[in-house]
Structure 1
Amino acid sequence: MENISFSYPLWYLLLCALAGLAVTLLLYFRSPIQAARPLVWAMAALRFTGYTLLAILLMAPLLRFLQTDRQEPIIVLAQDVSESVGMETDTTAYVAEWESLRDALSGQYRVVSYTFGSGVREGGAITFADKQTNLDAALTEIADLYGNQNLGAVVLASDGIYNQGPNPAYRDFALRAPVYTVGLGDTTRRRDVFINRVFHNRIAYLEDQFSIQVDVSARNAAGERTLLTVSRVGESGSTVLHTEPLTIDGPDYFTTREVILDADRPGVQRYRIAVSTIGGEVSTANNQRDIFVDVLDARQSILILAAAPHPDLGALRQSLVGGRNNEVEIAYGNQFTGRVADYDLVILHQLPSAIDRIPRVLEALRAENIPTLFITGPDLPAPMVNASQELLQVGGGGAQVQGNEVTARLAPGFSAFTLSDELRQALPTFPPLAAPFGEFRAGPGANVLLLQRIGRVDTEFPLLVVGEDRGRRTGVLVAAGLWQWRLYDYLEYGDHARFDELVSQLAQYLTVQEDKRRFRVSVAENIFDENEPVQLDAELYNSSYELVNEPEARVVVTGPEGREYNFTFTRTNNSYTLNAGTLPMGNYRYRATVNSNGEALVSEGRFSVQAVEVERYALEADHALLRQLSDRYGGSLLFPGQLAALADTLSASEAVKPVLFQTVTTRSVLNVKWIFFLLLALFTAEWGLRRWAGGY
């Protein structure tokens, strides 16, 4: 307690004493009791003290306390546990020295230990197994958590090699404490040839070509020759796809080679890029690197079946083949003898017509549920088109009546797919199309994309509709002349991007097949890194296609050499999920099963795990980076064998000291409990004495 303060002038205390005296005189001297005079004076003193104290409490005095807190300095120990450190350091001796330093500092300071590599962890085992190193993340974590506390020092042990995150030398960390770095690894420039980096796409398309860019480096190997090979690795062995000799023409050799490969097999393909070894290499682990490429068989076979040659056919074909995996064929109704079941999408241009009703084609389209886009024109035979689909019905008009020139306007509320803002703004400006005369009515399953604008009148007649028609995806455009839209797009904007987007979105919507399976398992991605947990998600639908997850779902993951991993899915709100953890490199397949109301449901699929070997490619420690960090924050660079002296250095440092915080606390005297008990004791003592003296 420091002092007592009052909100009233101090001379009010005299009034409190006078009030206590008045009560005492009134009770003991105006009406004296029959008792010995010392006893009367004692009772009067008790009454005076009690009532005076009560009067003072009515003035609400305040107590001010000075509280002192001591915060010990924090020492952060951050240890790099990446593979490159373990490969170039005597880990047994070093770990013992590091733990001895931690124990020595724990007796004087608050010590917080971190391990870092691909991630930053508080504590953690020192195993030197992380596949990547992120120095910036470690320093950022320390600065964020302890930058505003009494941070005494940071001890960062690393080889200075980082392969994730930005260069910490160019970052400004909020650290107000010295940073002591411990240089691990070996800085010697040794003889080595290695694959530096490989750049490639994770996805390629079947029967397409893709590029692999390989960066090859060599040190202290001038005059040597090596052979660059690219092979495909499969279950039955490896096949060499490309070879190229390289001549190392200097002590610091670097070259980039581009290799073009054919994507001739679907699925996840494993490729191995390697350079042959040279004499006296320090390490051969970095002479090869494996990559995975997911080759997708996503080709779409599209048939444009027309009544006669028309400029629209060329415009549609040019837009569709812009998608590199679209194969487009043009045929004519009276000459087509193929099978529509061989195509993913059929576009009927001004078919059926009065001359060619194509009954065989229409029947096959319905039987095989082939997605169909009808494009009619002013010569539309309404009864035939109405019979071919139910999304859009035409009344009146027909081939005998002159058609209309209509422009397009977007229908409000369209949600089947998304159009860009550029296309939305351009559509109303496109030239008019030739549409039949008549009344147009959208069917119950139609989703109207475009409405007709005839002259200056906005109508509610549909121009373009899409939707489900008898179990197949169908689109109907009741006008011809699309070639004008493509030409106008180029004249107005300098390219065909808007028209091509419209055609592409239509084709994509019509060809997407709805997944009707009741049990579905999906992986977060087709290719995982070996230090990345494999995540699988599953959905189960009952007979009413409602999500349920009451039954137990299991999955068997089969990896290289037939090794099996058995898991049980974890239930979420109304589905399933599984974190299978990290798996070794290789190709995997999974088979998930669940029993729903006595029916066994199965879902199968594949994924791959690729190696993360960046720690093996650069083994030359970067102690210059560590020294730069230490100099910037007032520390120094140490090496294994010098850690024992660091505890004494920190003890002698003026920067590593406790911090005292003083806090002034104010509270009312009324909240002090002993005041109550003091008053109770005063009045109880007086009452007891008066009763003993016969005053009651």
Structure 2
Amino acid sequence: MQSLTFEYPVWYLAVCALAGLGVALLLYFRADNPAPRALIWTMAVLRFLGYSLLAALLLSPLLRFVQTDREEPIVVLAQDVSESIGLETDTTAYTTQWTALRNELAESYEVVTYQFGSQVTQDGPLTFTDKQTNLDAVLTQISDVYGNQNLGAVILATDGIYNEGSNPAYREYGLQAPVYTIGLGDTTRRRDLRVSRVFHNRIAYLGDQFSIQIDLNARNASAEATTLTVTRLGEGGSRTVHTERIPIDQADFFTTREVVLDADRPGVQRYRIAVAPLAGEAVTANNQRDIFVDVLNARQKILILAAAPHPDVSALRQSLQTGRNNEVEIAYANRFTGRVQDYDLVVLHQLPSATQRITPILEVIQQAKLPVCFITGPAVPAPLLNAAQDLVTIGGGGTQVQGNDVSARLVTPFTAFTLSDEVSRFLPAFPPLTAAFDNFSAGPGANVLLRQRIGRVDTEYPLLVVGQDRGVRTGILLGTGLWQWRLYDYLDGGTHDRFDELVSQLTQYLTVQEDKRRFRVSLPENVFAENEPVRLDAELYNSSYELVNEPEARVVLTGPDDREYTYTFTRTTTAYTLNAGTLPVGNYRYRATTQMNGEELLSEGRFSVQAVEVERYTLEADHELLRRLSSRYGGEFLLPDQLGSLSDRLRESGGVKPLLFETVNTRSILNLWGVFALLLALFTGEWVLRRYTGGY
């Protein structure tokens, strides 16, 4: 549709016509014009039209036209492809119905198909094998993508069971279209016994115990009984570690059982929690669950080697033993016959001394790169201590010096490890220790945590120092009397927590070993779900410990039944990465290799893949949730046998129809080539006639 508009009043066109008429009359209707009458009239009309049109163009006329666009309605089909649908539905027949509905709707509308389970995909196959269901994710994506388009209807086919994401009943989606829900599955309350939930720690420490909390549900099974078993599954077979008989005394039965197990084997351990099925159970897949517990062999052997019995030795042992993974042994230098290299940390109390220089032990500590903590006092000769370490230098040169009472003064900032605010505030209040009456100075590699306060004078003498000494993490406490700190802590607060925290943090700092391997493989976690990809990252260092990735790196994964999977790492900027995809459930070993300058480098480890079976635990469809969604968005709740009539329902509703958009455009008539051609034709015609008559 087109129309002509002007920037000036329309009556200006009459002025333009009068101007054209005046020009024509003055030029052609003179008394001395000898041309034939018909020719004069023809040329006058051409002149009149040409000048009138030219004058009208000076009024800047605009051509206005309306453009109409048509947007077809969109119908979104969203199909739940989770495992619970496949367990309760004849998927072959249903897939045929769903495909027929999609094809029928595609004849009249623009159809978009989604499949959803743990993730939302578009135009995928109907496999019904997803391990989780996220209803909120698919509705959110439909709302985000099509909320501002001509969305005619949303058809959501599911059983209403969701085990991931938010409850759709309590979410508001920006859907301006009716939602038709197709209720799949079975809502019948059948006899069922299931392991509904299992709570457990994912990490335990070797030699400790860990607890498993098991929630059991039973329906329509009153006056029955079942047997709960916990079995450890491993490469060497299975072993039952717990058995318990559970009576069921109610129609709607629920109970929680706690099972305490021993972490007696390192590595990722797989346990199966199962209950014996009841007679007449329709589904037994939810009668068991598998869990994985990573048992860490993090136990540390600590040797307290003393010159003689002392209250400090007992205080240290009691504090260190509060760490569940610490194995503490006390020995005396004159009677010690063990192997120092078998320990993870050596605490030397009042050693080396004038009578017990322990030179062989110090040499073994240095050769084995064992962390060591010196606890000294006035009885430790300064030359021997200076020779044993480089973190602190004592000025005296004798073997016996006078003692001096010194309090602790906290140094801030301190970056080697952290202490709680309560411990930091309380340290200056601890009773004085007995230190040597001498000059002390910290070495360049020392990190000072506590300095000495003598009476009311704050000195720069170190009291507690840690650092890297000769390639070994070392700690030095330049005073004795720690037993008073532990006793005072209990007298003040009723616990030894503050003293134990100080000892624990110091011990953790000393026993942390730096990873010096040149080829390392790391995993984001030790236990993967069966529906998530297994990812491995690797780092390779040259002899200067610079990251490189020129050599090719490979890894072999060995899974259940000794089946091997061979992969090649992908290079990143300076390292390697691997996405091995999803793997079958079970325990795996990995063996990664590469070569650097002819040397083969190796990194080995373990991980596990656990089953995701949440779709099997609850099979009772929730059609009430679907009815609420349809009611809120003006749709209908339908059953699968009503799929054939859904297309007719959409047409009868009248809401699924195209949208027409009108766009008004204006264009100056001066830009039209036809106007120029008309003007050219008028003036050319007049010129030709005048030439013919001899007017030019």
Q: When the two structures are superposed, what TM-score results if normalisation uses the length of structure 2?
A: 0.86
- Residue 576 of structure 1: how far off its partner (Å): 0.6
Query: Who is 1:549 aligned against?
Result: 549
1:143 to 2:143 alignment: yes
Query: Who is 2:32 aligned against?
Result: none
464-473 or 425-434, larger mean C-alpha shift: 425-434
Query: Who is 2:276 aligned against?
Result: 276
Query: Who is 1:82 aligned against?
Result: 82
Asked if the contact 1:2/1:66 (under 8 Å) is kept, the reply is no
SS at match of 1:635: coil
Asked if the contact 1:375/1:480 (under 8 Å) is kept, the reply is yes
- Structure 2 CA distance for partners of 1:48 and 1:637, relative to 1, 3 Å: closer
For the residues of structure 1 that align with 2:102 and 2:403, how far apart are their CA atoms? 93
Q: Summarize deviations over 1:454-493 as a string: whole Å, max 9, x none.
A: 5666554443332222222112232344445555656666
1:472 to 2:472 alignment: yes
For the residues of structure 2 that align with 1:169 and 1:636, how far apart are their CA atoms? 16
Alignment of 1:451-470 (within 5 A): 451-453=451-453, 459-470=459-470
Asked if the contact 1:77/1:155 (under 8 Å) is kept, the reply is yes
1:168 to 2:165 alignment: no
Q: Summarize deviations over 1:320-346 as a string: whole Å, max 9, x none.
A: 222211112233334433322221111
Query: Who is 2:31 aligned against?
Result: none
- Residue 86 of structure 1: how far off its partner (Å): 0.4
For the residues of structure 2 that align with 1:114 and 1:596, how far apart are their CA atoms? 49
Alignment of 1:486-505 (within 5 A): 486=486, 496-505=496-505
615-624 or 439-448, larger mean C-alpha shift: 439-448
- Structure 2 CA distance for partners of 1:470 and 1:618, relative to 1, 3 Å: same
203-212 or 325-334, larger mean C-alpha shift: 325-334
- Residue 300 of structure 1: how far off its partner (Å): 0.9
Asked if the contact 1:397/1:436 (under 8 Å) is kept, the reply is no
For the residues of structure 2 that align with 1:483 and 1:62, how far apart are their CA atoms? 101
1:642 to 2:639 alignment: no
Q: Summarize deviations over 1:663-684 as a string: whole Å, max 9, x none.
A: 5668x85xx9925896699689
- Residue 494 of structure 1: how far off its partner (Å): 6.3
Query: Who is 1:103 aligned against?
Result: 103
Alignment-mate amino acid for residue 674 of structure 1: N
- Structure 2 CA distance for partners of 1:641 and 1:386, relative to 1, 3 Å: same
Query: Who is 2:328 aligned against?
Result: 328
SS at match of 1:278: coil
Asked if the contact 1:410/1:424 (under 8 Å) is kept, the reply is no
Query: Who is 1:244 aligned against?
Result: 244
Asked if the contact 1:430/1:488 (under 8 Å) is kept, the reply is yes
Q: Summarize deviations over 1:352-396 as a string: whole Å, max 9, x none.
A: 233433323222211221101122235553221111111222324
Asked if the contact 1:408/1:451 (under 8 Å) is kept, the reply is yes
Query: Who is 2:617 aligned against?
Result: 617
SS at match of 1:186: coil
1:207 to 2:207 alignment: yes
- Residue 541 of structure 1: how far off its partner (Å): 1.0
Alignment-mate amino acid for residue 408 of structure 1: R
Asked if the contact 1:47/1:686 (under 8 Å) is kept, the reply is no
Q: Summarize deviations over 1:97-124 as a string: whole Å, max 9, x none.
A: 1111112222222322211112222232
- Structure 2 CA distance for partners of 1:371 and 1:152, relative to 1, 3 Å: same
- Structure 2 CA distance for partners of 1:507 and 1:51, relative to 1, 3 Å: farther
Asked if the contact 1:157/1:182 (under 8 Å) is kept, the reply is yes
Asked if the contact 2:383/2:397 (under 8 Å) is kept, the reply is no
SS at match of 2:329: strand
For the residues of structure 1 that align with 2:102 and 2:494, how far apart are their CA atoms? 68
Asked if the contact 2:219/2:251 (under 8 Å) is kept, the reply is yes
Asked if the contact 2:465/2:477 (under 8 Å) is kept, the reply is yes
For the residues of structure 1 that align with 2:543 and 2:16, how far apart are their CA atoms? 90
390-399 or 237-246, larger mean C-alpha shift: 390-399
Asked if the contact 1:526/1:607 (under 8 Å) is kept, the reply is yes
1:230 to 2:224 alignment: no
Query: Who is 2:603 aligned against?
Result: 603
Instruction: State the identity %.
Output: 65
Query: Who is 1:562 aligned against?
Result: 562
- Structure 2 CA distance for partners of 1:200 and 1:2, relative to 1, 3 Å: farther
Alignment of 1:272-671 (within 5 A): 272-396=272-396, 399-403=400-404, 405-412=406-413, 414-427=414-427, 432-453=432-453, 459-486=459-486, 496-662=496-662, 669=668
Larger CA Rg, structure 1 vs 2:
2
For the residues of structure 2 that align with 1:283 and 1:154, how far apart are their CA atoms? 32
Any unmatched runs of 5+ in structure 1?
A: 30-34
Q: Summarize deviations over 1:295-331 as a string: whole Å, max 9, x none.
A: 1111011122233444443443343222211112233
Asked if the contact 1:50/1:679 (under 8 Å) is kept, the reply is no
Q: Summarize deviations over 1:406-444 as a string: whole Å, max 9, x none.
A: 4322243x4334444555555556555444344433333
Alignment-mate amino acid for residue 369 of structure 1: K
Asked if the contact 2:408/2:450 (under 8 Å) is kept, the reply is no
Query: Who is 1:118 aligned against?
Result: 118
For the residues of structure 2 that align with 1:388 and 1:604, how far apart are their CA atoms? 37
For the residues of structure 1 that align with 2:232 and 2:371, how far apart are their CA atoms? 37
Asked if the contact 1:47/1:683 (under 8 Å) is kept, the reply is no
- Structure 2 CA distance for partners of 1:5 and 1:592, relative to 1, 3 Å: farther
SS at match of 2:475: strand
- Residue 259 of structure 1: how far off its partner (Å): 1.5
For the residues of structure 2 that align with 1:375 and 1:51, how far apart are their CA atoms? 110
Asked if the contact 2:403/2:435 (under 8 Å) is kept, the reply is no
For the residues of structure 2 that align with 1:131 and 1:384, how far apart are their CA atoms? 67
- Structure 2 CA distance for partners of 1:122 and 1:377, relative to 1, 3 Å: farther
For the residues of structure 2 that align with 1:80 and 1:554, how far apart are their CA atoms? 39
Q: Summarize deviations over 1:61-89 as a string: whole Å, max 9, x none.
A: 98877655444333222111111110110
Asked if the contact 2:405/2:454 (under 8 Å) is kept, the reply is yes
279-288 or 122-131, larger mean C-alpha shift: 279-288
1:184 to 2:184 alignment: yes
- Structure 2 CA distance for partners of 1:676 and 1:354, relative to 1, 3 Å: farther
SS at match of 2:504: helix
Asked if the contact 2:232/2:272 (under 8 Å) is kept, the reply is yes
Alignment-mate amino acid for residue 275 of structure 2: V
Q: When the two structures are superposed, what TM-score results if normalisation uses the length of structure 1?
A: 0.86
For the residues of structure 2 that align with 1:229 and 1:594, how far apart are their CA atoms? 44
For the residues of structure 1 that align with 2:677 and 2:310, how far apart are their CA atoms? 110
For the residues of structure 2 that align with 1:17 and 1:450, how far apart are their CA atoms? 103
Asked if the contact 1:406/1:435 (under 8 Å) is kept, the reply is no
For the residues of structure 2 that align with 1:426 and 1:690, how far apart are their CA atoms? 113
Alignment-mate amino acid for residue 655 of structure 2: A
Q: Summarize deviations over 1:107-159 as a string: whole Å, max 9, x none.
A: 22232221111222223211010112222333233333333443322221112
SS at match of 1:642: helix
Alignment-mate amino acid for residue 131 of structure 2: K
Match of 2:671 among 653, 671, 674: 674
- Structure 2 CA distance for partners of 1:473 and 1:647, relative to 1, 3 Å: same
- Structure 2 CA distance for partners of 1:645 and 1:476, relative to 1, 3 Å: same
Any unmatched runs of 5+ in structure 2?
A: 29-34
Q: Summarize deviations over 1:29-65 as a string: whole Å, max 9, x none.
A: 9xxxxx9998799689868866885x667xxx98877
Asked if the contact 1:50/1:683 (under 8 Å) is kept, the reply is no
Q: Summarize deviations over 1:537-586 as a string: whole Å, max 9, x none.
A: 11111111111111111111111112111111111111111111111111
Q: Summarize deviations over 1:475-519 as a string: whole Å, max 9, x none.
A: 223234444555565666665544433322221221122221111
Asked if the contact 2:225/2:246 (under 8 Å) is kept, the reply is yes
For the residues of structure 2 that align with 1:504 and 1:63, how far apart are their CA atoms? 87
- Superposition RMSD in Å: 3.9
- Structure 2 CA distance for partners of 1:350 and 1:185, relative to 1, 3 Å: same
- Structure 2 CA distance for partners of 1:321 and 1:680, relative to 1, 3 Å: farther
